[in-house]
């Protein structure tokens, strides 16, 4: 049967049936995935809006997956990463202030699977030295499903993932140690993990996790990276967010553990000043060695306890990593740079 409805109105009717929120998120997807000639990318405000929708579950899985993969293929810009971090800061948990100098570590949430990690040991050493240390992570997740901070700390008889956020905050203020365990402390972000499993590739949210800190006051942010473009993106993002002080480390498996078998590369970023690069050769300091292999959590626990006692292979990595962290010093930062219009 022929319909009297004008063809021009059919599209409008279909769009209205989808709903305003679906149409709006479709616009944001189009700005990322419309192709080389027409794709514009997102403004900082639009990126925050998109991330907020993802965190609050206002987006159905089809649109959420399309957004994540389109953003990966296009590659995130600094203003987009800044907007996504704005959303995390608004909706995620926040640690209280402390009198200690705060160091926040950003490492891949999908963990370690090749080399024995030493960051949990570094965190304990720095905390004992009077700093406040923040770690971020979750359960085993794609793409590596490697050993997590929660598992490693539990192997040291510190199951911090079992604590509530008020308990973590109290521990942070009293002892200078905190672990944000995403499934327990930031369940909104955890809802994206099933999508990431189905995509099978790291979306820009994985880069966001390297740069994000749950601290109320700006910490010294120490973030790992593998590829040079990621490091450049980190610097540009921190500048847009007027983050006063940060470090990038080309560490083992994208983390912040310095390698002993090759050159170690790090950089110090202070807002408004040139980037300061540091290149270390382990052999120059008598630390040249192969990295200990990660086999089982039980074996790692034995190695870690030995290292805390000053023995065993991991000790040679803990020492330079712990020594590198205070390298920027405690000089007051310069005045903030003007905000970007992005």
CATH match of 102-324 with 1.10.3720.10: no
pTM given for the model? 0.90
Residue ranges of the chain that CATH labels 1.20.970.10? 15-91
Q: What is the pLDDT of residue 282?
A: 79
Q: What is the pLDDT of residue 270?
A: 92
Q: Supply 106's token pair.
A: 């950003």
Coil vs helix vs strand at 246: strand
Per-residue pLDDT of the chain (342 residues; tens, 9 = 90+): 566 667 777 767 666 766 788 889 999 999 998 877 778 899 999 999 999 999 999 999 999 999 999 999 999 999 999 999 999 999 999 999 999 999 999 999 999 999 999 999 999 999 999 999 999 999 999 999 999 999 999 999 999 999 999 999 999 999 999 999 999 999 999 999 999 999 999 999 999 999 999 999 999 999 999 999 999 999 999 999 999 999 999 999 999 998 888 888 999 999 999 999 999 887 887 777 788 899 999 999 999 999 888 887 665 556 666 667 665 554 444 434 444 456
Q: Which of 91, 95, 135 is nearest to 112 (CA)?
A: 135
Which CATH homologous superfamily contains domain 15-91?
Answer: Transferase, Pyrimidine Nucleoside Phosphorylase; Chain C (1.20.970.10)
Residue ranges of the chain that CATH labels 3.40.1030.10? 102-324
Q: What is the pLDDT of residue 328?
A: 56
Residues 6+ apart with CB under 8 A from 68: 192, 195, 196, 199, 203, 204, 205
Residues 6+ apart with CB under 8 A from 322: 122, 125, 126, 129
């Amino acid at each position: 049967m022929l319909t009297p409805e004008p063809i021009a109105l059919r599209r409008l009717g279909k769009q209205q049936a989808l709903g305003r929120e679906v149409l709006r998120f479709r616009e944001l997807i189009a700005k990322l995935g419309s192709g080389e000639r027409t794709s514009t990318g997102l403004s900082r405000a639009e990126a925050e809006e998109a991330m907020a929708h993802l965190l609050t579950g206002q987006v159905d899985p089809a649109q959420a997956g399309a957004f994540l993969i389109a953003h990966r293929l296009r590659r995130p810009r600094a203003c987009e990463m800044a907007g996504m971090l704005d959303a995390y800061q608004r909706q995620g948990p926040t640690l209280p202030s402390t009198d200690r100098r705060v160091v926040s570590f950003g490492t891949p949430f999908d963990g370690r699977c090749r080399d024995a990690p030493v960051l949990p040991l570094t965190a304990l050493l720095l905390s004992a030295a009077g700093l406040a240390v923040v770690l971020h992570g979750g359960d085993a997740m794609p793409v590596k499903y490697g050993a997590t901070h929660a598992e490693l700390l539990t192997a040291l008889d510190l199951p911090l993932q079992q604590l509530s956020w008020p308990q973590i905050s109290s521990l942070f203020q009293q002892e200078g140690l905190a672990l944000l365990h995403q499934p327990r402390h930031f369940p909104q972000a955890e809802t994206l993990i099933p999508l990431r499993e189905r995509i099978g590739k790291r979306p820009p949210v994985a880069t966001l996790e390297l740069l994000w800190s749950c601290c109320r006051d700006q910490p010294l942010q120490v973030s790992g990276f593998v590829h040079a473009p990621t490091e450049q993106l980190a610097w540009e993002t921190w500048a847009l967010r007027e983050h006063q002080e940060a470090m990038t480390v080309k560490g083992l498996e994208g983390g912040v553990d310095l390698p002993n078998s090759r050159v170690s590369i790090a950089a110090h970023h202070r807002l408004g000043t040139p980037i300061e690069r540091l290149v270390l050769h382990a052999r120059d300091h008598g630390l040249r060695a192969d990295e200990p292999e990660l086999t089982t959590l039980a074996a790692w626990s034995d190695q870690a306890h030995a290292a805390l006692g000053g023995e065993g292979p991991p000790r040679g990595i803990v020492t330079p990593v712990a020594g590198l962290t205070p390298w920027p010093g405690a000089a007051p930062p310069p005045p903030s740079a003007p905000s970007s219009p992005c």
